[in-house]
Amino acid sequence: MRTERERPYVYVTWLTKLLVGENSCEWAAWFKAHYKDYDQFPTGFDRAGWRLAHTTLSSRLQDELEKRGQTVFTEDQNKFTLRGKVAVFAGKPDLIALYGTGGAIFDAKTGKPQPSHIIQVITYMYAVPRALPQYKDCAFDGKVVYADHVVDIPSSAVDNVFIDNLGRLIRRVGASSPARRVPSHLECGFCPITNADCTARAQAGLIAVAETDDF
Ligand code: SF4
């Protein structure tokens, strides 16, 4: 049975695909921002397998950074909560490493590279110095770490355009009026919200196939 949250709560990973257009249904994030403890649709995602692969990659990364003399903070040490006027914004970067005069935020990814992975790290680079007092004056670089390569993100990626886009999306999913609902076969197939809460899921069950003589 779903419970309405006292205050809209927005988690970083609910927004990253929306920010780069990999997903379009803002209503899913709006619903999660306003409700908790709702029944979830089984998506077939292998959470245990993902967790194992992710932990292995993160641990390897942590070892490498510490061997280089860097100070490393992981997962729960990096949890942040940023309170805005319309919503609480929260997240948890995999790794924060401090070295010399600077630092970097790392996120380990086990799947195929996607633009939303980069946006996720830029979002951490924006939020961590604002939410965690110990990093108040840090301009972090970012790194998305895959099994076979690393994508570097300069601190300049947190610019006014990014902050404006992120802020507008948080305001839309944190608003009291529902955000845009965009059912599609692919997106609904990976969405945990059940038909009981989202009646639009059923409409997306079929992909229309038509025939033509044009080619
Ligand atoms: S089931 Fe589909 S339409 Fe409903 S919230 Fe999820 S993605 Fe959006």
101-153 per-position pLDDT tens digit: 889 999 999 989 999 999 999 999 999 999 999 999 899 999 999 999 999 99
Domain assignment of residue 153, yes or no: yes
pLDDT score at 214: 92
Ligand 1 centroid distance, CA of 28 (Å)? 6
Domain assignment of residue 146, yes or no: yes
pTM for the complete prediction? 0.92
pLDDT per position as a tens digit, 44-97: 667 788 888 999 999 999 999 999 999 999 989 999 999 999 999 999 999 999
Domain assignment of residue 103, yes or no: yes
Domain assignment of residue 211, yes or no: no
pLDDT score at 30: 98
Q: Tell me the best of 24, 31, 185, 188 to mutate to test the pocket of ligand 1, counting ligand atoms within 8 Å of each CB and taking the most.
A: 188
- Measure the CA–CA gap between 127 and 89, rounded to whole angstroms: 9
pLDDT per position as a tens digit, 170-204: 999 999 999 999 999 889 888 999 989 998 876 65
Domain residues for the domain of 15 are 3-203
Ligand 1 centroid distance, CA of 18 (Å)? 13
Domain assignment of residue 86, yes or no: yes
Domain assignment of residue 49, yes or no: yes
pLDDT over threshold 60, residue 206: no
Residues with CB under 6 A from ligand 1: 25, 27-28, 181, 183, 187-188, 191, 193, 198, 200-201, 204
Domain assignment of residue 212, yes or no: no
DSSP state string for 96-160 = EEEETTEEEEEEE--S---HHHHHHHHHHHHHHHHH-GGGTT---EEEEE-SS-EEEE-GGGS-H
Q: How many folded domains does the chain comprise?
A: 1
Domain assignment of residue 162, yes or no: yes
CATH of the domain at 98: 3.90.320
Query: If DSSP codes are grouped into helix, strand and coil, which group holds residue 95?
Result: strand
Ligand 1 centroid distance, CA of 32 (Å)? 11
DSSP state string for 28-69 = HHHHHHHEES--B------HHHHHHHHHHHHHHHHHHHHHTT
